[in-house]
Structure 1
Amino acid sequence: MQWFGKGSGNIDDRRGMSGGTIGGGVGIIIVVLGLLFGKDLTGLVSQLPVNNVTQSEGKQGDPADAEGKFVDGVLESTNQVWEQQFQNLGQQYEEPRMVLFTNMVQSACGNASSAVGPFYCPGDHKVYIDLSFYQDLKNRFGAAGDFAQAYVIAHEVGHHVQNLLGISDKLQRARGQVSEVEYNRLSVKLELQADFFAGLWAHHAQNLKDFKLEEGDIEEALNAANAIGDDKLQKQAQGEVVPDAFTHGTSAQRMYWFKKGFETGDINQGDTFNSRQL
């Protein structure tokens, strides 16, 4: 992919800053699970209760390095696409901020280690990412390429869209009201819809004047979606697959919903909660 824009200007660069210690038993459990199983637990972080914490901010604006400029460009393209989508819905889009950090970070959802992977916090409307995750994506999961990296950001922005539209509330309302298995199923539907939204972004981004899809880009995104499916990650980590423990969806499901979003570009086709086919 190529991006010729000026960037979003919505970057909070905390790389190299101390993120403090991990606070709260839930946060510790999430980080330990991430270290043990090497899997993306972003959904768990984004579902944590919001804490009243003092936020430390880093350098604001446009990053000077190539990695920072790349993720800023992807964020800007998602803003352009979703602003138009919300306008079509008769709503106002609120642009998220992206926090770049190293090792550990403080968010309105609590403190988090980079072991949990990129995540979105609904409490402060920010996407958090330690860019070293992209090395893991390439080396551990075999998902190389700049569009695989862009897919990760578009997925997290998809959670922001869900938050703005009130979709994420379905999971919050279910907390403590349904069994763990049923809650996991709802989590899967939320994550697959975020994959659909990532595909929808790619569909419309190709029409932006500052954005250009290149040959192999969509295949890179599908490869990334395949690499981080629950079934594949469980098999790698523990040698067996436990469907009732899925929280993000299988490799096939994640690829299907990203591809559906890309092929249709129609937000009305992404209702994973009522779809008979996941």
Structure 2
Amino acid sequence: MELDGQRKSDNVEDVRGRSGSGFGQGNFGRRGIRFPSGGGGRGLSLSTIIILALIYFGLRAMGIDVAQLLDDGSSGSSSYQQQSNASGAEQEMKVFVQRVLASTEDVWTDIFEAHGGQYDMPKLSLYSGQYPSACGTASSATGPFYCPGDRKVYLDTAFFTELSRRFKASGDFAQAYVIAHEVGHHVQNLTGVLPKFNQMRQTMTPAQANKMSVRVELQADCFAGIWGRKADDKGLLSAGDLQEALNAAQQIGDDALQKRAQGYVVPESFNHGTSAQRMKWFKRGFDQARMEACDTFSDPV
């Protein structure tokens, strides 16, 4: 994708490195060694200092370097360089996500206005490990998802590495497709599709809910395709980008995932769509670039 110079969305929250354990308390804890304080927080008491000194000299007498125990590796030049590189990569990823999200904002704002409506932009939380959401704890195991409860997209960017290495779906447009798909769910939330589905599934059997879930997911793929076409019209796509997205859709189809994991497929358990279906609906959105073309609930999927 040609995103250099494109605007960055203000709706990205970078909470990587924070723990969800402090949610609701106004702050998040930090890892590290913390010494006890005496005298109501005025500093170390005399008795504490004596105890620490005895521990220090005792360890030294046993040949243990206390400085190495306290050093987490961040003080060395090599570790500093690694941290610097990681920080640079993390910043690049944030900028990429900000620009992709901004592109979806521009596209859907125009589409909603053309239909006489107003597009309320979602937030996107960049997290690592685990993070709380209104839909439960976000984790790397769940993958990227959209939560209608707080209207946020949750993305652990480690998924992009997994997408490339494990699922053989590399490329920046493949990553952008993942974001655009989750934004597609936000569009469904605004248009009433998700609220209606969540209401209907309460009276559905698991098999019925899975079938309806497939249609919901395929529509989000189609919406992602609409965004892709609009981005292409603005000159943001490079040669091979469309194929990257189609390859990603193929690699993360339910049948492909099940074959990779267990060697066989269980169609009644599909809830996102097969590889062929996901590719078909992304391509339909890309080719026709109209919301009306994404009626997965009436058309055969």
- Cα distance between partner residues in 1 of 2:190 and 2:291: 14
Aligned to 1:199: 225
Distance 1:109 1:56, change over 3 A: farther
Q: In 1, are the aligned partners of 2:210 and 2:271 still within 8 Å (CA)?
A: yes
Conserved 8 A contact 2:138-2:154:
no
Q: Which residue of 1 aligns with 2:9?
A: 8
Match of 1:216 in 2: 240
How many matched pairs?
240
| Separation in structure 1 between the aligned mates of residue 126 and residue 291 of structure 2, nearest angstrom | 29
Q: Residues 263, 140 of structure 1: CA spacing in aligned structure 2 closer, same or farther, 3 A cutoff?
A: same
CA contact under 8 A between 1:230 and 1:251: conserved in structure 2? Answer: yes
1:76 alignment partner in structure 2 = 102
Amino acid corresponding to residue 216 of structure 1 in structure 2: G
* Shift of residue 113, structure 1, vs aligned partner: 1.3
SS in 2 for 1:65: helix
**Structure with the larger helix share:** 2
Q: Distance in 2 between matches of 1:214 and 1:132?
A: 24
Superposed displacement of residue 108, structure 1: 1.1
Q: 1:273 to 1:109 in 2, by over 3 A?
A: same
In structure 2, the residue matched to 1:124 is 150
Equivalent residue for 2:175, pick from 139, 143, 149: 149
1:244 to 2:248 alignment: no
AA of the residue aligned to 1:70: F
Larger Rg: 2
Shift, 1:92, TM fit: 0.8
Change beyond 3 A, Cα 1:181–1:125: same
* 2:236 is equivalent to residue 235 of structure 1: no
Q: Which has the higher contact order (CA 8 A, sep 6+)?
A: 1
Structure 2: gaps spanning 5 or more residues? 29-88
Opposite residue 162 of structure 2, the aligned amino acid is: D
TM-superposed CA distance for 1:109, in Å, is: 1.0
Answer whether contact 2:139 2:156 (CA < 8 A) is retained.
no
1:168 to 194, 203, 216: 194
- TM-score normalized with structure 1 length: 0.83
Partner of 1:37 in structure 2? none
Alpha-carbon distance in 2 for matches of 1:56, 1:171? 34
Question: Residue 55 of structure 1: CA displacement?
Answer: 8.7
SS in 2 for 1:222: helix
In 2, are the aligned partners of 1:14 and 1:57 still within 8 Å (CA)? no
SS of residue in 2 equivalent to 1:120: strand
Structure 1 distance, partners of 2:205, 2:25, is 34
Flag the 1:70–1:57 CA change in 2: closer, same or farther, 3 A: farther
Q: What does residue range 54-73 of structure 1 map to in structure 2 within 5 Å?
A: 54=24, 65-73=91-99
Secondary structure at the residue paired with 1:124?
Answer: coil
Name the SS for the 1:212 alignment partner.
Answer: coil
Residues 1:85 and 2:111 aligned together: yes
Paired position in structure 1 for 2:20? 19
Give the residue type in structure 2 aligned to 1:126.
K
Query: Cα distance, 1:212 vs. partner?
Result: 1.6
Is 1:260 equivalent to 2:260 in the alignment?
A: no
Between the aligned partners of 2:179 and 2:187, the Cα distance in structure 1 is: 12
- In structure 1, the gaps of 5 or more residues are 22-52
Superposed displacement of residue 238, structure 1:
1.6
| Aligned structure 1 segments of 4 or more residues deviating by more than 4 angstroms | 55-58
Q: 1:120 corresponds to which letter in structure 2? A: Y
Q: Kindly state the Cα deviation for residue 180 of structure 1 after the two structures are TM-superposed.
A: 1.0
State the identity %. Answer: 51
